[in-house]
Amino acid sequence: MPKKRKTDGEITFSEKIQEQKITDTLELNYMPYAMSVIVSRAIPEIDGFKPAHRKLLYTMYLMGLLKGARAKSSKVVGQTMQLNPHGDAAIYETLVRLTEGNGALLHPFVDSKGNFGKQYSRDMAYAAARYTEVKLSPICSEIFADIDKNTVEFVDNFDSSMKEPVLLPTTFPNILVNPNQGIAVGMASSFCSFNLKEICEGTAAFIKNNDINIMDYIKAPDFSTGAELLYNEEEIRQIYETGRGSFKLRAKYTYDQKNSCIVVTEIPYSTNIESIIDKIIALVKAGKAKEITDIRDETDLKGLKIAIDVRKNTNVELLMHRLFNQTPLCDSFSCNFNLLINGRPKTMGIKGILSAWTEFRVNSIKNQLAYDLEKKKAKLHLLEGLGKILLDIDKAIDIIRNTEKDSLVVPNLMKGFDIDQIQAEYIAEIKLRNINKEYILNRIKETEDIKKEIDNILDTLKSETKIKNIICSQLKAVAKKYGKNRQTDIVYAHEIKEIPTEDFIEDYGIRLFLTEENYFKKITLVSLRTSGEQKLKEDDRMLMELESTNKADILFFSNKQNVYKMKANDIAETKASSMGDYLPNILGMEEDEKIIYFTATTDYNGMMFFMFENGKGVKIPLNSYSTKTNRKKLINAYSAKSPVIFMSYIEEDKDFILTRDKDKACLFNTNLLSLSATKNASGVQLYTLKKNSRITAVYEKDGFISDDIEYYRTDKIPSTGHFIKDEDKEKNNIEMQIKL
């Protein structure tokens, strides 16, 4: 805008648009937010907690809930707002996950009463905070061990009204004991849980010798929901060394043979009951799990239970392998050991994490020892002052009694016994009944013990080895007091029975139908017996039909020399009363492309025979269309040099009849052709054609009506054929075909 002229008493305004680099804008506006999420919200620190967890647990500690009775959850949530200024819903949700009732943690930090939902259920909602009660679990005594002895740093809360710990001085590597997931800006964190006993033993061994094979101590991850871990040594080693990788968990089940019922009692930590049931129901509806007759969620107060009713004589092992392959009954857990070390995010393997935790714990114990040292020195100082009045107790009493003003008692004692103010204050506060020789002698006896304790503390502070021995003894005590047996069983690779993918597919007879308009049907033979007439689109007609099995691969040949492959099992079953699936939609075909032929195979044995207008024919092994990978489209499936007029799958060589225009025919056996090495070979000349002549039709031998079919036989190629007899033309409508 143009500047206004300035007049007396008038303010001049100027608007100016300034260009700013997008990188500068991001740095100034977005980076602070991103760093706040990373550092203050989503990524756990070396004590194994995110800020929301730490603030909540510390609030409960201050409320005396470590040893006292349970308090209403709503009261805890309200008190936590002094440290965590978020909404009550977010705080309560954090509390829920830490509870024993929810079951998300191997070692819950909150002893709970009431409904807190379940880790393994998506729809089981937790009760409102006003209905539930909580207190800290006994293991929290290890989380807050000596926190009042300056073991960790304290900082002001958001409004500087109170102090809160930066970290909690946990006596065991909680970061590896309880699972933790978080998504920050540009990074994420995902910690699986490990068995407390194994972690404590492994950590103690690592502290003593950094070169140990950690896998000898920490066998594998362990989860509160149990299930089975499919152990792959290379996968686990990668996770242990790099902090990244994934492994598979699968459900535990039993089979009730009497009631033909599969009972699932433990599921992978990363899934839930509802997702499993929804997926199994979808498989049943798609006809891919016909053995299953019903599925129910029978979870109750005793624990998780999914009941799957199956038909009698079902191969349960095979069915469960299929369900493991196709549903979340077998699921992966991805690890990303990303945590904050001194405010910086780092992804580390287990040894790196244990090294960082050990350093943190060494500093915590040093702080605690320094605190104890100061307290011991202060006590020794007081006792040394008390020892001085032992020489003349009567003098001390006389000084106190004869001092007229209360404010002069301490100065007079200082002067009378040559002690400092702190010692004098202590002596002045002793009760009258304790100013006797016995009491003072008993107190002074403590002096030698305190001196020894001080010397021990000083020796320990100077020796990191002694400090590490303290850590190891604490780890041993934690493992003994709180350790549990593994919840998640380890199933080694050699124990897993390998079942080919093909065996997962249910085997039963089917009939396949293709119409001219490219509608396709898959109908079971059982259904076909009771079916009526096949429903077709108006003006559509049946092009071909074929009987096969649900385990077959189906090859669709198009008019553009492409082959589309699908497994019969992947095609939905339909009924005669349905028009079927429209192939261009399910195959992803090109524009104006049509399927002109299909075949089905389970072993890719046999051949494809192609006949072209120019009189050439070719035999291609069917295994030319077999691929190691599950490719759905193959190009150049046959030659494009001349229009194809006929194609057929043949198991072995057979007779065909070619007709040229309307005058000649030739009967030959495909053994006259050798197999082609390439799919799009142009073929061998079977019939010698005149100029402007072409092959008009191909018949299978049984499809051509003639009293003397061998009349047209040729044993050499190319052939000029034989003139078609008039009666054979009439019987096979050859004149009519040409006119059409």
Indicate the helix (H) or strand (E) that contains 626: none
Within a 10 A sphere around the Cβ of 580, how many other Cβ atoms?
24
Indicate if the alpha-carbon torsion angle 264, 269, 271, 272 is positive or negative: positive
For residues 240 and 216, what is the distance between their CA atoms, to the nearest angstrom? 12
Active-site option among 33, 131, 371, 426 = 131
Q: CA 466 → CA 161, 411, 461, 470, distances in Å?
A: 38, 44, 8, 6
Task: Give the C-alpha separation, 83 to 95, whole Å.
Answer: 14
What are the Cα distances from residue 477, in Å, to 85, 102, 171, 221, 350? Answer: 37, 27, 10, 22, 22
Three-state DSSP class for residue 329: coil
Which residue is associated with the tokens 């089917």? 510
Task: Judge whether 230 and 496 are in contact, CB under 8 Å.
Answer: yes
Asked if 201 contacts 479 with a C-beta cutoff of 8 angstroms, the reply is: yes
- Map residue 110 onto helix, strand or coil: strand
Active site residue 131: yes
Classify each residue of 254-268 as buried b or exposed e, where b means 16 or more C-beta atoms within 10 Å of its C-beta: ebeeeebbbebbbbb
Q: Which helix (H) or strand (E) holds 336?
A: strand 330-336
Q: What CA–CA distance (Å, rounded) separates 433 from 443?
A: 14
**Closest CA relative to residue 353, chosen from 367, 334, 335:** 335
Task: Find out whether 649 and 696 touch, Cβ atoms under 8 Å.
Answer: no
Q: Compute how many other C-beta atoms are within 10 angstroms of the C-beta atom of residue 445.
A: 10
What Rg, from alpha-carbon coordinates, does the chain have? 42
CA torsion, ordered 494, 500, 501, 507, to nearest 10 deg: -140
Q: Cα(first)–Cα(last) distance of the chain, in Å?
A: 81
Cα distance between residue 190 and residue 183, in whole Å: 9
Question: Hey, which residues does 599 pair with through a beta bridge?
Answer: 555
Which residues are marked as active site? 131
